[in-house]
Amino acid sequence: MIKIYAPASIGNVGVGFDILGAAITPINETLLGDLITIEPSNKFQLVNKGLFSSKLPKKTEENIVWKCWSKFCKVVKKNIPVSIVLEKNMPIGSGLGSSACSIVATLVAINEFCNKPLNSKELLVLMGQIEGEISGEIHYDNVAPSYLGGLQLILEDTEIISQKIPSFKHWFWVIAWPGFKVSTAAARKILPKQYKKNICIKNSRYLAGFIHASYSQQPNLAARLIQDFIAEPYRMKLLPNFLKTKEKIKKIGAISCGISGSGPTIFAISDNIKIAQKISLWLKKYYLKNETGFVHICFLDMQGARKIG
């Protein structure tokens, strides 16, 4: 029996639309991600459990886990009879890489079960393809950090898809999911087909500056440059009172904040635990819309997908 955990992630990280992604883990050691347990069987079997399992498709063939298993079997050109348990701890359509968690945990588990016929690059390519089928476009900014950990820069070079870049160990990442979903496909559809030249130049400048600040370890500069000119101006209408929330979070003391992935989760960064706790309390009181919503103070998860137990 093999048990694999894949952590949640923040896509885009504000300044890097489809180019930056960060794996996160709550400081209280809560497992914010999906778990896959796999063992031998006479035929393929799938059991769903966990806090958000009721939101999964009823038909097995529509489940992401089945899609991963089916694709993997085609790639390695053999049928793999296994029993899989998906512990769905991530809300669907949260902007925290919920589908990526399931994809990464499943493929890592199956690959491990089969004695690793695919290398890490081949596995990552497969993860991106399946993510693309779900969201409408191939993008690695959730699967790469969930798989490899840390802050990932998506290169999609002929040899290298993604690489970990330096991060700031003293940063606390506060994430808040209000308790409702936003479809990734719908959030991508809301974006314009074309952007003005000055916006493209500005975004390139901020992204390049953030990468430079990360490597030269200038946290204040890096925090100032986490600004989203590509998605946030359009996606903010999908989030409740986003601009007022952002303004309040910054008044409390956040050094940066933005929309996590497609939303509706938002993230705030603080370099002070007391300020992070104040932000967390405010978000719990004013940003959550129902009892299923949550707020976590996180560090970056540097490990990525891993065996549990």
- Residues forming the annotated binding site for ATP? 91-101
Closest CA to 235 of 207, 262, 201, 275: 262
Count the Cβ atoms, other than its own, within 10 Å of residue 11: 31
- Using alpha carbons, list the distances in angstroms from residue 276 to 234, 249, 256, 281, 298: 27, 10, 12, 9, 10
- Using alpha carbons, list the distances in angstroms from residue 113 to 36, 48, 54, 76, 91: 12, 19, 27, 13, 27
Residues that constitute the known binding site: 91-101
Question: Which bin fits 47, alpha (ψ -120 to 50), beta or left (φ > 0)?
Answer: beta
